[in-house]
Chain A
Amino acid sequence: MAASMLDWALRAARQVLPSPCTRQVRSYYVDWRMLRDVKRRKLAYEYADERLRINAIRKNTILPKELQEVADKEIADLPRDSCPVRIRNRCVLTSRPRGVKRRWRLSRIVFRHFADHAQMSGVQRAMW
C-alpha cells in the first residue's frame, strides 16, 4: 500500500518539461498534506460538472421535493474529496496552510524572503 502510494506520488509529482530546463526542478511534493491537497483538487475538477448539475436540481423551488431528496442522496454518494470546500490554498513552496497570500500562492515567510532578495517583480518595501 505504501509502495503503491509512493509510486503514485512519484509519477504524479514528476513533471518532465519537453525542453531542457535550467531552472530549479522539484521532483517531489513538499509533504503528504500537499499531496492530499493535490488529489482533492484533481477530483474536484473531475466532478465539478456533476456537482453543479445535481446542486441545480437540489437548490430549486420548482421540482418536486422527492426528486430533490434523491438528488441529495446522490451528491452524498460522490467521493468525499470531490467537493471543492475541502481544498486548502497552501503555500506552494512550504505547504504552509495559513498566512498564504492568494496572488502569489506563497506563505508570508517565503514571500518576505524573496521580496527582500529582490526576486519578486514589482514588490517593494512599503514606506509612506
Chain B
Amino acid sequence: KLFSTSSMLSTENDKSAASKDSSTEVASKSQKGTAEAPKQKLLDIIGSMTVEVSYRKKLKQLKTRKPLNPELVEAVSAVASSLPLSKKQTESELLAQLRRHEETTDKQKKGGIINIRNVISEMAVKRQSPAQRGMRISSRISLKLDEDDQRIKSLQNFFLVSSPTIWDLEFAKEIAAVTAQPPRNGFEEMIQWTKEGILWEFPIDNEAGMEDDAEFHEHIFLEKHLKDFPKQGPIRHFMELVICGLSKNPYLSVKQKIEHIEWFQNYFEEKKELLQEI
C-alpha cells in the first residue's frame, strides 16, 4: 500500500510540472504500472524517481536548446507517418532522440580531450545503473525505433569517439593504485579478489572464459573438412576415426578441431612420396 501511494504522489508531481518528453514517457509508464505485476511497479517507481532527480537539468536544457534542423524534423514526421504506431507519440519520441543526439555530438565537438575525472566519475556513477535500468527498459519497450534512428544518425554522425591513449590509461591506473584502500571487511576483500580473478563469479558460469560461438553442427559434422583427402584407403579410414573422436570431444573449440585436421592433412601431403612407394 505504501508503495502504491508513493507512486501515485510521484506520478502526480511529474505530471503537474512536466515537459513534453517526460510526460509521454511517464504516461506510458503509469499505464503499465497499474496493469502489471508489483515488480513492474517497483521498476516504474525507481524510473520515475530518476526522472524527478534529472528534472532540473531538463528545465535548463529546455531553456538553452538550439532549434533542430528543419529537414530532420520533416524526415521525422515522414517516418512517424509511415509507421503503424500512434503518430504523435512516435514523432515526439523521435524528436527527443534527435535532441539527445545533437547534445551528445555538441559535447564531443567542444570537449575533445577526454577528461580522466569523467572517466573515474563514470566508474563511480555506474553503481546507479540498476536504478536507471528500470527507466531504460520501459523506454526501450516504448520506442523500438532503432533502425530509423540509425538512418537519421548516419546523416550526421561520423565523429568517432577516440579511444583513450596509452598515457590516459596509465594515468588512470596510477590514480586507481594510489586511491586503492586496503579492504575494510571480508566483502571488500572478496570483491578485490574477484576483480583480480582469484575468486570466481557467482552464480558459477560453467562457460566462463570460453567463447565458443559455434553451433553444435559445426562440432559434430566435420566431414566437410575431409574434402582434400583420398576417398579410399587406410588414410581415409584413419581420418574418419579421427573425426569421430573429435566430434565426441566437448573440450575443444571448433578452431582447434580444424587445426588438428589440417595438421594431419599437411603431414600426409609431406609423406606422399613415401606413401606412393608403398
Interface residues of B in 168-197 (CB under 8 A from A): 173, 177, 180, 182, 192, 195-196
User: How far is B263's CA from A70's CA once the two chains are assembled, in angstroms?
Assistant: 16
Q: Does A60 contact B (CB under 8 A)?
A: yes
CB–CB A53/B267 < 8 A: yes
Count of A residues near B, CB < 8 Å? 17
CB–CB A19/B180 < 8 A: yes
Task: Give the shortest distance, in Å, between B185 (CB) and chain A (any CB).
Answer: 15
User: How far is B196's CA from A48's CA once the two chains are assembled, in angstroms?
Assistant: 29
Q: Which of B24-32, B132-140, B235-243 is near enough to bind chain A? A: B235-243
Q: Which residues of B contact A17 (CB under 8 A)?
A: 196
CB–CB B242/A56 < 8 A: yes
CB–CB A66/B260 < 8 A: no
A-B interface contact total, Cβ < 8 Å: 41
Q: Does B271 contact A (CB under 8 A)?
A: yes
Q: Which residues of A contact B182 (CB under 8 A)?
A: 22
Count of B residues near A, CB < 8 Å? 23
CB–CB B177/A20 < 8 A: yes
Task: Give the shortest distance, in Å, between A89 (CB) and chain B (any CB).
Answer: 22
Q: Mark B238-278, 1 if CB is under 8 A from A, else 0.
A: 10011000000000000000011001100100010011011
CB–CB B235/A63 < 8 A: yes
CB–CB B263/A53 < 8 A: yes
Q: Does B230 contact A (CB under 8 A)?
A: no
CB–CB B260/A62 < 8 A: no
CB–CB A66/B274 < 8 A: yes
User: How far is B274's CA from A66's CA once the two chains are assembled, in angstroms?
Assistant: 8
Q: Does B234 contact A (CB under 8 A)?
A: yes
CB–CB B260/A53 < 8 A: yes
Residue of B173, B180, B234, B259 near A62 (CB, 8 A) is B234
- Given A53-B260, A53-B264, A62-B238: A67 and B180 within 8 A (CB)? no
CB–CB A67/B274 < 8 A: yes
Q: Which residues of A contact B274 (CB under 8 A)?
A: 66-67, 70
Interface residues of A in 28-68 (CB under 8 A from B): 49-50, 53, 56-57, 60, 62-64, 66-67
10 new A-B contacts at CB < 8 Å, known A60-B238, A62-B238: A19-B192, A19-B195, A20-B180, A49-B263, A53-B260, A62-B241, A64-B278, A66-B277, A66-B278, A67-B278
Can you report 25 A-B residue pairs in the complex whose CB atoms are below 8 A from each other?
A18-B173, A19-B177, A19-B192, A19-B196, A20-B177, A20-B180, A49-B260, A49-B263, A50-B263, A53-B260, A53-B267, A57-B238, A62-B234, A62-B237, A62-B241, A63-B235, A63-B238, A64-B234, A64-B275, A64-B278, A66-B274, A66-B277, A67-B271, A67-B275, A70-B271
